[in-house]
Amino acid sequence: MQTDGYTLVSSIFKLVHKPQSELTFVGQAWELNPIFRCESDEILELNMHNLIAELQEINKHLQQEVLTLKQKTSSLEKSATLLRYILESTAYGMITVSLEADIVSVNQQFIEMWQVPNSLTISRNSVQWRAFLENQLKQPQLLRDSMWEMWCDFTGDRYDILELKDGRVFAQYSQPQKLEEKIIGRVWSIWDISELSQAVEKSQQLGEVRSQFLSMVSHQLRTPLNVVSFSNSLLKKHIHVWTTEKTLPLLGRIQTAVEQLSKMLDDILLFAKAEAAKLHIEAQPLNLVQFCHEIVTQFHTCYSQNKINFDSQGSCCTTFIDRKLLAPILKNLLDNAIKYSPSGAVVDLKLVCEPEKVIFQVVDRGIGIPIAEQQRLFEPFYRGSNIAHLPGTGLGLSIVKTLVDLHGGHIDVKSEVGVGTTFTVIFPSMK
């Protein structure tokens, strides 16, 4: 008889009209057996032993079911604990949102990522949460569309990029969550991609810089190459009939163009080494006064129309500095000063030696630099708006800044349009 106790007792009471009992001699003993009389006066005898046995079987079955339920409950609790551990240990922030836009749960990583205050963590108030999260974003509507108003499109996957007001960038992804094939909400995974975003932006900027570099190089190299090509063609055509007086100017133009090409290539090579961090300081004892005189002499040979006035102050004895890195610093500054000054103008090179530092100053009386452009002077390939007609790569000052920084020094510029420019380079004294 496969039935439960409630059904058995109910069946009995439906059949029974008036219970009685009688003594029956069974074996060597008397037993009191219940006798029940139905409405139809039919007698239904039920053996007490059979009834007890049936009830005991039912009780055993119920106990087994209780034990099975306890085991299942324990297993579910372990699974839930493991799931909570996984959610808390993941590097992603997790937030569960119902179709009614209620926040069901969040993990600790989400709280830390969004810097959620303790009051919200405890209260779990959806309205306050929504206001707090949206206030962190540059575009709050994006979070509203994707998370709070998911009913507009809740059947597919969703991926969004969130930009926070503090500069961080989050990526978020979700799939609809189902219970018995019915969508009940979404679980969002959110992770910080700020570094990746910055790398992508930097890569894009680098691509723009490279494009600008190629354009600049092709333009700047073309001019001296055209001079060389044109002058060479004339020489080849008239070399046997022209006098020395006619050929010398062309040879001079070729020489100047070659020097310009050499200067550009040197700048490009030095810039490439600086960018690749292949430049290292090799400080050696150097007599700065003698070194500056040598630099000035080289410039007087190349630029006879401009005079460089050198002056030194203080006890400028020998100091430790990298000669091969100091040379391009001074040469670039002096070259710019002469290039952007009228023909015949004087350029000053000043050296000031103090106990704790060495100061170089290059002063010109040239075209000057607009104030709005002075902050960008040291950017690679940047050229001022008032020097477009003059040749140059836009790398000189960027190289100077890199080399000065490499020495642990500082460079400063003061300029006024139409008056002139002063560059000041300060190095810590090393003896």
DSSP 9-28: HHHHHHH-SEEEEEEEEETT
Domains of the chain: 5-82 (no CATH), 90-192 (3.30.450.20), 199-275 (1.10.287.130), 284-428 (3.30.565.10)
Q: What contacts 233, CB < 8 A, 6 or more positions away?
A: none
> Whole-angstrom Cα distance, residue 270 to residue 282?
16
Give 200 or 129, the one with higher predicted confidence: 129
Conformation bin of residue 112: beta by default, left when phi > 0, alpha when psi is -120 to 50 = alpha
Q: What amino acid occupies position 286?
A: L
What integer is the mean pLDDT of 342-357?
88
Q: Are 137 and 164 in contact (CB under 8 A)?
A: yes
What integer is the mean pLDDT of 110-125?
75
pLDDT at position 381 is: 72
What integer is the mean pLDDT of 356-381?
87
Provide the percentage of residues in the chain whose pLDDT is more than 90.
Answer: 9
pLDDT at position 41 is: 45
346-353/307-313 β-pairing: parallel
DSSP 368-396: ---GGGGGGTTSTT---TT-TTS---S-H
SS3 content of the chain, % helix, strand, coil (to 5): 50, 25, 25
CA atoms within 13 A on the CB side of 357: 12
What integer is the mean pLDDT of 214-232?
73
Identify the top-confidence range among 39-43, 276-280, 319-323: 319-323
Burial class (CB in 10 A: 0-12, 13-18, 19+), 99: middle
pLDDT at position 349 is: 94
What is the number of other CB atoms lying within 10 angstroms of the CB of residue 267?
Answer: 20
Tokens of 102: 């209620």
pLDDT at position 42 is: 46
- Predicted structure pTM score: 0.48
> Whole-angstrom Cα distance, residue 365 to residue 372?
19
pLDDT at position 44 is: 46
pLDDT at position 25 is: 54
pLDDT at position 194 is: 85
| DSSP-based three-state secondary structure for 243 | coil
Q: What contacts 263, CB < 8 A, 6 or more positions away?
A: 335
Q: Which residue in the block uniquely carries the two structure tokens 């324990």?
A: 74
Mean pLDDT of the chain: 77
DSSP 136-200: TBS-HHHHIIIIITGGGS-SS-EEEEEEBTTS-EEEEEEEEEEETTEEEEEEEEEEE-HHHHHHH
What integer is the mean pLDDT of 153-174?
82
Q: Is the pLDDT of residue 163 over 50?
A: yes
Give pLDDT tens digits for 258-300. 877 777 777 777 776 666 556 677 888 888 899 999 999 888 8
Q: Is the pLDDT of residue 151 over 60?
A: no
pLDDT band at 56 (very low <50, low <70, confident <90, very high): confident
- Reported for 275-281, long-range contacts at CB under 8 A and 24+ positions apart, including other chains, are 279/325, 279/402, 279/403, 279/406, 281/322, 281/325, 281/406, 281/407
Instruction: Compute and round to an integer the Cα radius of gyration of the chain.
Output: 46
Indicate the range of 34-38, 169-173, 379-383 predicted with least confidence.
Answer: 34-38
Q: Are 121 and 141 in contact (CB under 8 A)?
A: no
Q: How far is CA 73 from CA 77, 178, 214, in A?
A: 6, 22, 70
| DSSP-based three-state secondary structure for 37 | strand
Q: Is the pLDDT of residue 197 over 90?
A: no
Tokens of 86: 């996984």
Indicate the range of 12-26, 253-267, 376-390, 403-417 predicted with least confidence.
Answer: 12-26
> Whole-angstrom Cα distance, residue 292 to residue 133?
61
pLDDT at position 322 is: 84
pLDDT band at 405 (very low <50, low <70, confident <90, very high): confident
pLDDT at position 38 is: 47
